[in-house]
């Protein structure tokens, strides 16, 4: 028997074996050569993991380019992960030439063979850069683009800003709970208004203009707020009454931040107590997703802002740097992680959880992830991939 | 309470009655949302590996290979 040569990241279920690194499936009675052909054996570990990380992920239909028009922002939120970069409105200028930007994006995305590009405008507050966004959208392009914008909507919308929102396919609005909760976390740079009132008035304006169906509400709720069900009910009911659909109202916990990590009673980062399998690697190590800032710097992701180069360099050079950066993933250089059977449900965590990312086995989530119902994972994958079910 | 709500007059003026939920629908949706949250452990999600839309993470976008379903990107909502 050769089954002792199968890597621990291959899970066995009633229907067969599932390789959770490359998500290939084999029936239980497969031959050793079949196992080898799909990278199920221990001696293939490194190659299989590298090829997974180097591949453009799965069947994601579009590539994602996050654009930071500038760091101007009207808020200073208590949980902001980029607060050290923020500027007062008017201080952070966009220095990018639009033709250079579009040429680079299309050149980079040509490498991914994706048919659709999502341009996501984030900040800071991107609605403070309406001229830039209008120019980006109106510039001629060869690829199909869709547009998204993340906004705090926390100051009265101008006509110009409303027109920009009308150009978006979707937009994401940050709301952190009921009025008390939201205003406690979302602090205005200048205390001239009630940000929650401005926000809800703006959501009314969106509904009146038929834009409410494009809105996803994302929240960053503290653990305290998640426990307060009366306030949560108020929050949900208010959003629904303003035309936000139930499936686009996301109740989310606050993200750990490098400057404000949260630890539980066992001195573990709270994110590491999550039983959530992270089946894709951190966005720093995901090639179909890049970030371009207001100076034309191309970065791997929003959180670490790891600079790969600039839009004035060739897209293939940037992509090569991306591939090189995979070798620096701490999780691939950690001996304990190398032997871990849940490596591909973790991938070392998010760069935003700085401690976890840099020292993955010291901030390990292994026990929680190992409690996942593996049999169900295997069978669900079997049903979807082998039998072609969409359920 | 300072949140801005639609008044009956506004709903009529802007012809919003079709697009806004009834009180009953709001109550049902609120229950569903809180039920969904109860299946999570504060800032984590289902323990069966079927849903990787991590409540505690803002960057877990992509495709869930197990279900084949796209995850909601919590940065751009896509």
Q: Where are the domains of chain B?
A: 8-38
Residue of A100, A70, A115 whose CA lies nearest to A88: A70
Q: Do B43 and A227 touch (CB under 8 A)?
A: no
Q: Inform me whether the pLDDT recorded for B2 exceeds 80.
A: no
Residue of A317, A353, A41, B40 whose CA lies nearest to B52: B40
Q: CB–CB of A39/A23 below 8 Å? A: no
pLDDT of residue A233: 93
Q: CB–CB of A151/A114 below 8 Å? A: no
Q: How confident is the model at residue B56 (pLDDT cuts 50, 70, 90)?
A: very low
pLDDT of residue A150: 93
Nearest Cα of chain A lies from the Cα of B39 at a distance, in angstroms, of: 12
Mean pLDDT of B28-47: 65
pTM, entire model = 0.84
Instruction: Give pLDDT < 50 ranges for chain A.
Output: 58-59, 268-269, 272-275, 389-391
Which candidate from B19, B36, B56 shows the least CB-CB separation from A274?
Answer: B56
**What ipTM, to 2 d.p.?**
0.80
Q: Where are the domains of chain A?
A: 3-55+327-386, 62-321
Q: Do B30 and A122 touch (CB under 8 A)?
A: no
| Separation of alpha carbons A211 and A235, rounded Å | 20
Homologous superfamily (CATH) of A62-321 is Aldolase class I (3.20.20.70)
Q: Inform me whether the pLDDT recorded for B49 exceeds 50.
A: no
Nearest Cα of chain A lies from the Cα of B38 at a distance, in angstroms, of: 10
pLDDT of residue A154: 92
Q: Do A208 and B33 touch (CB under 8 A)?
A: no
Q: For residues A10 and B36, which has the higher predicted lDDT (pLDDT)?
A: A10
A66 three-class SS: strand
Contacts of A146 in chain B (CB under 8 A): 78
CB pairs under 8 A between A and B: 221
């Amino acid at each position: 028997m050769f089954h002792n040569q199968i890597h621990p990241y291959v899970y066995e279920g009633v229907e067969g074996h599932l390789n959770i690194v490359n998500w290939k499936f084999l029936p239980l009675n497969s031959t050793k050569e079949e196992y080898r052909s799909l990278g199920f054996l221990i001696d293939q570990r490194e190659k299989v993991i590298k090829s997974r990380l180097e591949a453009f992920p799965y069947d994601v239909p579009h590539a994602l380019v996050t654009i930071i028009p500038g760091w101007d922002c009207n808020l200073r939120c208590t949980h902001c992960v980029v607060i050290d970069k923020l500027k007062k409105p008017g201080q952070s200028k966009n220095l990018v030439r639009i033709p250079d930007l579009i040429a680079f994006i299309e050149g980079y995305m040509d490498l991914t063979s994706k048919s659709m590009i999502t341009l996501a405008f984030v900040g800071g507050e991107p609605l403070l850069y309406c001229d830039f966004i209008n120019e980006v959208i109106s510039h001629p392009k060869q690829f199909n683009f869709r547009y998204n914008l993340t906004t705090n909507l926390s100051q009265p919308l101008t006509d110009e800003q409303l027109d920009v929102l009308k150009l978006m396919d979707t937009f994401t609005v940050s709301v952190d709970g009921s009025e008390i909760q939201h205003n406690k976390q979302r602090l205005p740079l200048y205390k001239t208004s009630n940000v929650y009132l401005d926000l809800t008035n703006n959501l009314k304006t969106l509904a009146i203009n038929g834009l409410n169906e494009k809105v996803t509400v994302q929240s960053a709720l503290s653990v305290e707020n998640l426990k307060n069900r009366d306030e949560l009910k108020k929050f949900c009911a208010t959003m629904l009454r303003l035309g936000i659909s139930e499936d686009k109202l996301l109740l989310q916990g606050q993200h750990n931040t490098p400057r404000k990590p949260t630890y539980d009673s066992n001195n573990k980062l709270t994110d590491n107590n999550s039983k959530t399998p992270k089946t894709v690697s951190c966005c720093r190590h995901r090639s179909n997703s890049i970030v371009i800032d207001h100076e034309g710097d191309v970065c791997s992701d929003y959180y670490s802002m790891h600079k790969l180069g600039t839009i004035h360099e060739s897209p293939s050079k940037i992509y090569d740097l991306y591939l090189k950066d995979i070798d620096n993933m701490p999780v691939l250089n950690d001996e304990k992680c190398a032997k871990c059977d849940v490596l591909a449900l973790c991938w070392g965590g998010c760069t935003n959880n700085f401690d976890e990312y840099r020292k993955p086995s010291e901030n390990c989530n292994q026990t929680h992830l190992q409690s996942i119902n593996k049999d169900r994972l295997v069978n669900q994958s079997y049903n979807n991939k082998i039998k072609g079910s969409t359920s | 309470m300072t949140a801005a709500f639609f008044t009956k007059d506004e709903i009529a003026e802007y012809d919003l009655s079709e697009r806004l939920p009834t009180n009953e629908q709001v109550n049902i949706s609120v229950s569903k949302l809180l039920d969904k949250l109860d299946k999570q452990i504060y800032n984590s999600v289902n323990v069966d590996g079927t849903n990787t839309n991590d409540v505690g993470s803002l960057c877990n976008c992509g495709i869930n290979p197990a279900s084949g379903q796209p995850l909601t990107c919590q940065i751009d909502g896509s």
